[in-house]
Structures are given as C-alpha cells and as structure tokens.
Amino acid sequence: MTPDQTTPLVEMRDISIAFGGVRAVDHVSIDLYPGEVVGLLGHNGAGKSTLIKILSGAYRADSGEILIEGKKVTINSPRDARHHNIETIYQTLALADNLDAPSNLFLGREIVTPLGLVNDAKMEAETRRIMARLNPNFRKIKEPVSALSGGQRQSVAIARAVYFNARILIMDEPTAALGVHETKMVADLIQELKRQGLGIFLISHDTREMMELCDRVSVMKNGRLIGTERVEDVTEDDILSMIIMGKKPERAA
Amino acid sequence: MSDTQIADAPAPRRRNIFETLELDTRLLGMIGAFVVLAVGFHLITDGRFLTPRNIFNLTIQTVSVAIMATGMVFVIVTRHIDLSVGSLLATASAVMAMTQTLVLPEWLGLGLGHPATAWIAIAVGLATGVAIGAFHGWLVGYLAIPAFIVTLGGLLVWRNVAWYLTSGQTIGPLDETFRKFGGINGTLGTTGSWIVGLVGCAAAVWLLFSARRNKVAHDFPVKPMWAEITLAGIVSAVILGFIWILNSYQVPAARLRRNFEARGETLPEGYTEAYGLPYSVLLLIVIAIVMTVVARRTRLGRYIFATGGNPDAAELSGINTRLLTVKIFAIMGALCALSAVVASARLTNHSNDIGILDELRVIAAAVIGGTALAGGIGTIYGAILGALIMQSLQSGMAMVGVDAPLQNIVVGAVLVLAVLVDIIYRKRTGARS
C-alpha cells in the first residue's frame, strides 16, 4: 500500500515482539509519509502502544526492521529515537511531577552554560516562548508539574515533543484526559504540524475523532495488523467491524 | 503557598516578608526548631550549651554524619536506600589505617611521618569507597536487586571486611597530617578563619546578585532590591557570626604551653590563641557546596531528581537510569570514605566499632532534613541541618545528664515526630508528600 510516490518518512517492516509467551506485536508493517497523520486503532491490549513504543525506543523489537526515509536504522533507546527526530507524547505524559515545566521540557536535553551547568534562566525563557504559542493561558512555569491541571500537563508534554523540531511525532491518546477546549487545541495543533510536513502517528480509542484527524488508519487486533485504510474509503462502521471482528471491509468493485 | 493561585491569575503576588525574600519556609521551620532546641538546652544547662567551646565540639561531632547525609539525599531521592554507609565507612577507615601504618611505612619503606602518607592513604580510601559504592550501584541498577537488600548485605559484609583487614585490632596512632582532618587537631586559626569567612560572604553576595542579573537578563520578575540586600546581610551575618564563635574558643593554656615546649620555646606571658575553623568543618562546607551545585545546577542532579519523581519518565527521556544508579552509589561511597577520614582522624586511630549505627543516623538526618522516602524531594542543606539537630539533641541530653537509654528513646521518637510534622506541613502547603 503506497499511496504516494515519495519515500515514506517511517517504515516499520514485519515487526514482532513477545513478552513471555504473549505475542504482543505479530509481524506488523506500517508506514508514514511526510505531512500525513496515520491513526492506530484497536482494543486495549491490541498492541498499538507496544508497536509505537518500539519506534520510540522504549522497547526493542524481537524481529523486523525500521526504516527512516528509506534508510535502515537501529533504535535501542529513547535517545536513539530522539536522534532520528522521533518525538513521543505518551499516554501517561511521562512527566517528572516534582520538577517544573522547563525542567520537564528539556529533560535529557538541558541547555547548559559554557561551564556545563544547566542554564535554568534560558530554559525558562524558552519555555515561556513556546508556551505563549501553544497555550497562552499557561502561567505556572516555576511550579512542579504536579500542581498543574490535566490540560496544562498535556501542553507541557506536547511542548516537549514539538520544541525540538520533531519530524516524526507519536501521540498516544493525546486527548484522553482533556476537556473540549483543550481537545480542540490539540486538533488544531495536529493540523498545523501536518502543514509543516511532520508525520504523525496517532493512537486513540475514539473512532470518530480518528476519522476527522487522520489520513489513514491502521487497525490492530490481538497483536496483528488487520488492515490499513484511507479514511475517505471507509465508513466508521467499517472501522468498528475491523476493530471488533477483525474483518477487512469488503471492497465495492 | 502558591497552590491557591489559579492558572489565569496574574503574576504571583507577594504575600508576606518571607515570600518577598523568597526564603524556603520549611528551612525556616527547621532553623526555628534548632534554635528552640539550642536555647532550651542552654537554659537547662545553666548556660553551658551555647558556648564557643560546645558549639565547636558540636560542629566537629556533626561533620562525619553530615558528610554522608548529603550523599544519602541523592540515594533516597532516587527511591533507594543505603544501609551500608556505617560499614563502608569502617572498611574505608580500615583500608586507610592499614595503608598509613603498614603498607606505606613498612612494605613500601616510606617510614613513619612521610609527608605524602596522609594523601596517599586518603586517595586509597576514596578509591575503595568509590569502588564499593559503584559495585552496590551496579547490583542495584543493572542486576535490579533492591537497594535495601544489596546494602543490607553490604552492612554485614563491609563491617566484617574491616574486621578481617585489621584482625579486629585498633590501628593507630594515625599519621600526623591525617589527624588534622579530625577537628580539634587541625584548625585554621584566627586569621585563616576570618579570611575563609570573608571569602564566603563575598561568594554569597556575588551568587545572590549574579542570580538577579541572570533573571533581569531574561525579563523575569525579581525581588525588590532592599530584600536582596537584607538577604545578603543576613547570610553574611550568619557566616561571620559562626566564624566569630569558633574564633572565640581559646586553646587552653596548658595545651599552648605543651606546644611551645615541643618547639623548645617558652609560652610568652599573656599569649593566647584560638582554634578557629576546623579543617573537617571546612571539608563539610566544601562538600555541601559541591553537592548543592551538583543537585541544582548540573544535568546529573537534574536526572537524579527527575528519576526520583518519575523513573519511567526519566527512562523515556533518554536518561540512562542504570548508570545513574551506579553514579549515585559511587558518590555515596566516596562520601563514606571522606567521612571515614574525619571519623578516624578524630579518634586518632581506627577502631573496630567505628561507624556502628551510622547508617541510621545518616538516614535519620536526611529524613529529618526533609528528604522524602517516596523520592524526588530533598535538599543538601536540609540533610546537614538534620544532622546538626540530631547531634545537638544527643549532646544536649548528655550534658543535661539524661541516661543513655533515654537519649536513644528520645532520638527515635523525634525522628518519627519530625516525619509526621513534615507530612502535615506538606499537606498544608499542598506539595506532594
């Protein structure tokens, strides 16, 4: 399935991983093109998050290969993934609650002074700059993020992903904990990042939201890939039956 | 107190004088408790507690535990524990004692009193501490054995390695240069102490104002100038006051006479000399500064606190948490070795029971100093203050004449009470416990 002529930004080929005896991801292949949003759908435990964690470096695949812009790469750690400009917004947000927003935003990539000490003032200024763009209401820069609301925490996690010029963005349930207003904010952001030519993997339970935000959706069930469809080719019911029954929609000729 | 502030509120308002000065209320609480304790003992002992002599003794007794407590902060912040510090101290002390009394003078033929002996011994001790600490860290980080178990094993192993190395004998007397780190045997004297004090004041003022400059450079709000100057004044007064007290402790005349006679001179009439700042206390101050810089201003410190707050997040941010664990325990090991220098130098020999129960004192100091066992929270100055409070309590009770078992009962109860107060405080201020 190659809808464009260009090289995919990411290609995950024939990926498998097992935990104990359980095949969490079973020979799955997916790809992602620049300026495209690909949705990953499936039940809890279908293997979406596991698959995506292989790309973000949190897990190592037992077999299969990952290609970034046509070149084979090895991703053994989150650091490797970041090196390939892959940024991830985790469902759990992965924030250190006891640290403030700038420390979280720059965690693992601190700005340092010539002496090698962390430059808190610079990081704080940069955080204010990006937050002014993402979430102008964000004011609690110096507080531990445990003191922030769900939406504010989410903006910290998003800011962390987009600040470092990501080319490939993975969003695991980015709107799960958010109110209406903040969900809209995330949707707008996704559109903007698309225009900038980023490729986005989006994981969600909300089929309707996925139909709106994604260009293609890949459906997984029990670790297997059921199929990948362009959203304009299928109905919401088609997708639901793929998720629930694991059946590919029948094509009208 | 800013937990009541909502997201859309304007820039935070300054409520009271403490907030204007941007002082940590928790630190103030601890200082308050310490002052109450000290004044209380002073009154009960008819003015024997807050004398230059007792304050001098108190500081040198605190140093050994306080040095280790700064390292314990890192260990506890990352949700680990180290039960082996007392035993590690004993092993490092044994190794250093053997190095300076047997290996260097006899095996390597340097003889007794060689000027390099103390430094070589300290280097060997540090290497021992770092190696053992790193080994603990490797077991915890890479083999995923809980730190509680690794260091509980270490508690037994290293206590008895020390015993084995020395055949259980007291090793001494230690090298003369080495003994200078023990406290009363090595002090800076009046002039040197004043110089250190003034340098300290200058550094504190410079730090305050360079932080302010940095904030101004990024258009952040700064506290009013009078608050900055007040703070600088308070800090300088505390530093110089401390030096003044230590400089008021006169060397007893009998001891001076002995010193002069040893040099073949006689003690001039009316001659006095004060001890001033002990090297061991200077060592603690340097360690406190270095550890605070590591905690606040380096990536290592940032990663330690991030890992304590959320280990998964740290891992996903590309932090090598396993290697981080090795580094933390290696730092702890190095500090145990430095503590061993101070502790054995103070006793002027290595004894088999050195450092016994120190692990509990060190953990208690860190916890009383506000380090949360749940991880992610703790300060270096808090741990040192915690050690000082514990030592004051112990010495104070001894001066009052409280029976030994009662002393320990009180110290134990105070530890539990301190943690309770801390929990209540954190709930009130809305911080995470």
The distance between the two most distant Cα atoms of chain A, rounded to a whole number of Å, is 67
Average pLDDT in the B74-92 region? 96
Contact B317 A95 (CB under 8 A): no
Q: Quick check: is B32 in a domain?
A: yes
Contacts of A103 in chain B (CB under 8 A): 302, 306
Q: Chain-wide mean pLDDT for chain A?
A: 87
Facing residue for B309 by CB, picked from A88, A99, A149: A99
Q: Region A80-109: what's the mean pLDDT?
A: 90
The reply to whether residue B305 touches residue A96, judged by beta carbons under 8 angstroms, is yes
* Residues of chain B contacting A93 with CB distance shorter than 8 Å: 313
Would you say residue B1 lies in a domain? no
CB pairs under 8 A between A and B: 106
Q: Closest partner residue to B9 among A122, A139, A148, by Cβ?
A: A139
Cβ contact (<8 Å) for A103 and B302?
Answer: yes
Task: Name the more confident of A220 and B111.
Answer: A220
Asked if residue B362 is part of any domain, the answer here is yes
Q: What is the mean pLDDT of chain B?
A: 88
* Nearest-neighbour CA in chain A from B242: distance (Å): 30
Q: Which residues of B285-298 are buried (b: 16+ CB within 10 A; e: fewer)?
A: bebbeebbebbebb
Judge whether residue A253 has pLDDT over 50.
no
Residues from chain A contacting residue B5 (CB–CB below 8 Å): 140
Evaluate if residue B7 carries a pLDDT over 60.
no
Count of domains observed in chain B: 1
Whole-number pLDDT of residue B15: 57
Instruction: Return the top range by mean pLDDT from A44-58, B108-122, B290-304.
Output: B290-304
Which residue of B214, B305, B312 is in closest CB contact with A94?
A: B312
List, for residues B305-345, the tens digit of each pLDDT value.
999 999 999 998 889 999 999 999 999 999 999 999 999 99
Residues on chain A touching B309 (C-beta within 8 angstroms): 96-99
Q: Is B310 on the interface with A (CB under 8 A)?
A: yes
Q: Best mutation site among A82, A91, A92, A98 for testing chain B: the one with the most B CBs within 10 Å?
A: A98
pLDDT of A79 strictly over 60: yes
Taking CB atoms and an 8 Å limit, are B313 and A82 in contact across chains? no
Inter-chain touch A78–B218, beta carbons under 8 Å = no
Query: What is the CA angle B110-B112-B116, rounded to 5?
Result: 60
Taking contacts as CB-CB distances below 8 angstroms, the residues of chain B near A79 are: 318
- Which residue in A107, A111, A154 has the most chain B C-beta atoms within 10 A of its own C-beta, making it the best mutation to test that interface? A107
From the CA of A125, how many Å to the nearest CA of chain B?
Answer: 6
Task: Give the phi and the psi of residue A233 in degrees, each rounded to 5.
Answer: -85, -15
Q: What is the mean pLDDT of residues A176-194?
A: 83
Contacts B223 to A, Cβ<8 Å: none
Chain A residues contacting B, CB < 8 Å? Answer: 56-58, 77-79, 82, 88, 90, 92-99, 103-104, 107-110, 112, 116-118, 120-122, 124-125, 137-140, 143-144, 146-149, 152
Alpha helices in B78-188 (DSSP H): 85-98, 117-141, 147-166, 176-179
Q: What is the mean pLDDT of residues B222-233?
A: 86
Cβ-based contacts of B3 with chain A (< 8 Å)? 147
Q: What CATH number corresponds to the domain at position B40?
A: 1.10.3470
**Is residue B169 one of the residues assigned to a domain?**
yes
Could you count the other beta carbons within 10 Å of the beta carbon of residue A202? 25
Phi, psi of B110 (to 5 degrees): -75, -20
CB atoms within 10 A of CB B266: 10
Measuring CA to CA, which residue among A32, A150, A40 is closest to residue A95? A150
The verdict on a CB contact (< 8 Å) between A97 and B432 is yes
**B384 inside domain:** yes
Q: Which of A38-47, A130-139, B298-307, B314-323 has the lowest mean pLDDT?
A: A130-139
Q: Is the peptide bond before A114 cis (omega within 30 degrees of 0)?
A: no
Q: Is A55 helix (H, G, I), strand (E, B) or coil?
A: helix
Under 8 Å between Cβ of A28 and A202: no
Q: Is the separation of the CB atoms in B328 and B137 below 8 Å?
A: yes
**Among residues of chain B, what percentage have pLDDT more than 70?**
94
> Looking at this predicted complex, what is its ipTM?
0.86
Question: Alpha-carbon distance B382 to B310, whole Å?
Answer: 22
Cβ of B302 and A147 within 8 Å? no
Minimal-distance CA residue of chain A relative to B1: A143
User: Which of B298, B309, B317 is opposite residue A117, by nearest beta carbon?
Assistant: B298
Residues of the domain holding B30:
24-186+278-429
Q: Which chain B residues in 139-168 lie under 8 Å from chain A, judged by CB atoms?
A: none
Confidence at B20, pLDDT banded by 50, 70, 90: low
Give chain A's length: 253
The answer to whether residue B272 sits within a structural domain is no
If residue B30 lies in a helix (H) or strand (E), which one and from where to where?
Answer: helix B25-44
CA-CA distance, B297 to B301, in Å (whole number)?
7
Best probe of the A interface among B22, B214, B299, by most A CBs < 10 A, is B299
Q: Measure B411 CA to nearest chain A CA, in Å.
A: 30
Chain A touched by B169 (CB under 8 Å): no
User: Does residue A22 carry a pLDDT above 90?
Assistant: no
Q: How far apart are CA B336 and CA B334, in angstroms?
A: 5
DSSP-derived letter for residue A77 is: S
The minimal CB distance from A140 to the residues B7, B319, B431 is found for B7
Tell me, what's the pLDDT at B106?
82
Q: How far is B131 from chain A (nearest CA, A)?
A: 26
Contact yes or no for A88 and B316 at CB 8 A: yes
A92-98 average pLDDT score = 88
